[in-house]
């Protein structure tokens, strides 16, 4: 099994393996190009983004600066907007539904390190996918950790650390992030 196959399967893998390193460097080069384009180069920026991401809808905007590890594991639905300073560490798939809005300074991290000291010191890591449903709003400075699913029609409050699944149709806040109320109760 290759290191990429291990990474995709969720097994421990070596991120310094040559093919993975080359893929990350290529994505980072594209991010540098994307982030350096002026707002007047919207068409060029859009083309770069579409070449970087695994898939995306027709109405997608990520404000610079944007950084990711590979790009090809990121899948974005229609009407996606992310404000400045988005970081997606996509060693595993990161899938966003339609009508997702992300405030500034948010991070989605699929990569994790083992608790076992010997494995960690051997510079091994593993990755778990992240899924964000449709009609989701994520407030500023939110951190979404490996393996999390955020349900449809949910709002994640600013500053939250999302370390477990969040159901559909709720307002969830805090560290750790947890649902505080249903959004259907008030017809929101």
**HSE on the CB side for 88, CA within 13 Å?**
30
113 belongs to the catalytic site: yes
State the catalytic residue, choosing from 73, 75, 99, 113: 113
Catalogue the long-range contacts made by 149-157 (C-beta closer than 8 Å, 24 or more residues apart).
Answer: 152/97, 153/183, 154/183, 155/183
In this structure, the dihedral spanned by the alpha carbons of residues 3, 7, 12 and 13, taken in order and rounded to 10 degrees, is 30
- Closest listed residue to residue 54, CA positions, set 44, 68, 38: 68
Which residues are known to be catalytic? 113
């Amino acid at each position: 099994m290759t290191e990429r196959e291990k990474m995709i399967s969720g097994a421990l893998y070596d991120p310094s393996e040559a093919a993975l390193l080359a893929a990350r460097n290529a994505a980072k080069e594209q991010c540098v190009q994307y982030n350096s384009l002026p707002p007047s180069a919207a068409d060029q920026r859009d083309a770069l983004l579409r070449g970087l991401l695994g898939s995306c809808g027709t109405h997608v905007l990520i404000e610079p600066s944007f950084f990711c590890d590979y790009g090809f594991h990121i899948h974005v639905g229609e009407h996606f907007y992310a404000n400045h300073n988005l970081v997606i560490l996509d060693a595993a798939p990161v899938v966003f539904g339609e009508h997702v809005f992300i405030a500034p300074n948010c991070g989605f991290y699929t990569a994790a390190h083992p608790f076992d000291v010997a494995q960690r010191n051997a510079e091994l890591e593993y990755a778990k996918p992240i899924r964000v449903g449709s009609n989701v709003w994520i407030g500023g400075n939110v951190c979404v950790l490996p393996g999390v699913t955020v349900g449809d029609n949910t709002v994640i409050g600013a500053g939250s650390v999302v370390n477990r699944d969040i159901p559909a149709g709720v307002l969830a806040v805090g560290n750790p992030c947890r649902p505080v109320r249903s959004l259907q109760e008030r017809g929101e």
